[in-house]
Amino acid sequence: MTRTIKRRIPIIIIMALFALFMLAACSDDAGPETTPDPAPTPAAQADPTPTPDQEEDVAASEEEEERENVAISSLHIGFVPSREPDEIITQTEPLAGLLIAELAGLGFDVDSVQISVGTTFEAVGQGLSAGTIDIGFIPGSTYVLYDDGAQVILTATRFGLSVDSDDPRDWNNAAPTDNSDEQVTFYRALIIAGPSAIGRELAEQVNSGIPLTWEDLDRATWGVLGVGSPAGYVYPALWLYQNFGQSIPHLSNVLPGDSHPTNFARLAAEQIDILVTFADMRMGQAERWQDEFARATTIWEDTDVIGVTIPIFNDTISVSRNSHVMSDELIAALQQAFINIGNTEAGQEVIAIYNHFGYQIAQSHYYDATRAAQQLIRELTG
């Protein structure tokens, strides 16, 4: 092999010289003299020296490896009191550890997560606006009331129900209500008559197919929540206006409550005749109805649906625009973290307190219908 190479060297040299001579001759004829690029050698073709682009990729990779997680001392999560505060605190306690673990893998080291339940729906919205609450589990109507200080990042998915009808008699005939296997991004509010004398009269009238009048409803005592509650105020108020031309502010007897369970206790005690609530709320109160509220018969026998609202877009996870720790990067991490949590068995046990099944990325315009409803409420209340 070595000998063959030695024999070919003179021929190679002669051919190279001849090529250079011809190039020089052509160069003289064609114009200014140029130096030909040398033919690439095997060594040049395999040059290990990185290109500028490769150097940038390597640098970025090394920087990513060396980058430390952003340290956050604490995050404050606020929940609305749609259920008993103690029940919410107990069931959501594992959320702190789940969120800390998820965020650690997404670039943020959080020392602690504080969980609280607001005294009202509006209190959580106000906390988000003030920056004293970083993350809020709030309904759409609370979000749109405070969207100058709150930013929606996720919307909940939930199980559909065994009944979904505009006709209250369909709900009563198919009782008890149960979950379906379908995943939906909406729910309804129901207007429910209780076991009081007036409540039973209204239920019988509806089940007999006799239309209700404003006078029928106005003689009852109503249990409602604050104006930030979609099922406890906003959409029932819209239902009244659409069907009777008047709304909750025009009713003669209204007893505001601090939570849906409080209103169920009042309904069982016959302190109120009608309450407004989530379509699946009776499912969660069925056991308490007899055990704690001491009713002799079931909640499905003692209560009837007398009105059904239009569908309501699901609850939100919103963040504070005024939180000192919030950033675009943290928002993206929170979105992914809560989606991941909702995909685990442990996470689903936590978020089941609100009948959430999981989460999807949300946009503000998803809640434009809620804004329209809120605008109507503002006009009705002056």
> H or E element: which one contains 75?
strand 70-79
What pLDDT score does 211 carry? 97
Please tell me whether the peptide bond between 176 and the residue prior to it is cis, using omega within 30 degrees of 0.
yes
CA distances from 115 to 80, 95, 141, 169, 252 (A): 11, 9, 21, 40, 38
* Spatial separation of the C-alpha atoms in residues 65 and 35, rounded to whole Å: 46
- 250 half-sphere exposure, CB direction, 13 A CA radius: 17
pLDDT tens, position by position, 325-338 = 999 999 999 999 99
* Phi/psi at 247 (5° precision): -145, -170
* Spatial separation of the C-alpha atoms in residues 363 and 347, rounded to whole Å: 23
Share of the chain above pLDDT 90, in %: 74
CA distances from 242 to 175, 350, 378 (A): 26, 37, 15
Mean pLDDT of the chain, nearest integer? 87
DSSP one-letter code for 250: G
CATH number attached to the domain at 70-160+314-380? 3.40.190.10
* Spatial separation of the C-alpha atoms in residues 78 and 208, rounded to whole Å: 44
* Spatial separation of the C-alpha atoms in residues 192 and 255, rounded to whole Å: 15
What pLDDT score does 63 carry? 55
- Token pair recorded at residue 11: 């021929």
Full 3-state SS string of 115-161: EEECCCHHHHHHHHHHCCCCEEEECHHHHHHCCCCEEEEEEEEEEEE
Cross-strand bridge partners of residue 101: none
* Phi/psi at 316 (5° precision): -120, 160
pLDDT tens, position by position, 206-237 = 999 999 999 999 999 999 999 889 999 999 99
The whole-model pTM stands at 0.69
Which residue type occupies 26?
Answer: C
What pLDDT score does 228 carry? 82
Which residue type occupies 190?
Answer: L
Q: Which fold does the domain 168-312 belong to in CATH?
A: D-Maltodextrin-Binding Protein; domain 2 (3.40.190)
- Of the candidates 98, 79, 97, the one whose C-alpha atom is nearest the C-alpha of residue 89 is 79
Is-same-fold flag (70-160+314-380; 168-312)?
yes
What pLDDT score does 183 carry? 85
Q: Where are the chain's structural domains?
A: 70-160+314-380, 168-312
What pLDDT score does 13 carry? 38
What three-state secondary structure class fits 360? strand
CA distances from 14 to 9, 41, 75, 177 (A): 9, 18, 79, 97
pLDDT tens, position by position, 257-276 = 999 999 999 999 999 999 99
* Spatial separation of the C-alpha atoms in residues 276 and 261, rounded to whole Å: 11
